[in-house]
Homo-oligomer: A and B are copies of this chain.
Amino acid sequence: MFGQRSSASAVGAPEPAAELDLNSDLNFLLARATALSVAASNAALATHGLKVRSYAILVVAASGERPSQRDLASFLHLDPSQVVALVDDLEQRGLVERLPDPRDRRANVVVATELGLATVGRALADVRGVDAQTYAGLTAAEAEQLTELLRRVAFPD
C-alpha cells in the first residue's frame, strides 16, 4: 500500500486533494529517514551505554572545542536543563569532566576524559558500521551530496 498513488479513486468516494502525496513530502521523508537513522544509531550505541543525545554530547566534548554547557545546549538544540542530566550521567561514568571556565566562574567547560575519548572512538566505529546499512541505497558521491544539502537546511545562517 502507498507504493504509488492509485490512478483512480473508488467510485463514489469523496475526491482526495491533489498533491497529498507524502512520498514526495520533504518534511515527511526527513522525519522517516531520521527515525531510521536514530533507531540504527541507538542500536549501535547501546553496547557502549550511550544513546544519540549522550553520544552527541560526548562527541563535542571529545572534539577539542571545550564547549560550555550552554554551548552544548544551543549547538545540539537541547534545553540547558537537559544538558545537566546528560553531562551528569557521562561524568559519573568517567567519560567527561566539568572543568571551571577560567574566563567565567559561572560556566563549566565539558571535556572528554581519556576513557571518554577511547569510548567515543569505539562508538564511532560501530555507528559507521550501521550507517553503511542505513545509507546503503546511496553511492558515496550521493551521500556526500545529501550531506551538503542537509547542511544548508540544518544551518540556515
Chain B residue at minimal CB-CB distance from A9: B64
Q: Is the CB of B134 within 8 A of A20?
A: no
Give the bracket for the number of chain A residues in contact with chain B.
Answer: 35 or more
Q: Is the CB of A156 within 8 A of B131?
A: no
Describe A's contact surface by its main secondary structure: helix
Q: Is the CB of A127 within 8 A of B27?
A: yes
Q: Is the CB of B64 within 8 A of A10?
A: yes
Q: Is the CB of A147 within 8 A of B24?
A: yes
Q: Is the CB of B20 within 8 A of A62?
A: yes
Chain B residue at minimal CB-CB distance from A58: B20
Shortest Cβ distance from A24 into chain B, in angstroms? Answer: 6
Q: Is the CB of B38 within 8 A of A31?
A: yes
Q: Is the CB of A63 within 8 A of B16?
A: yes
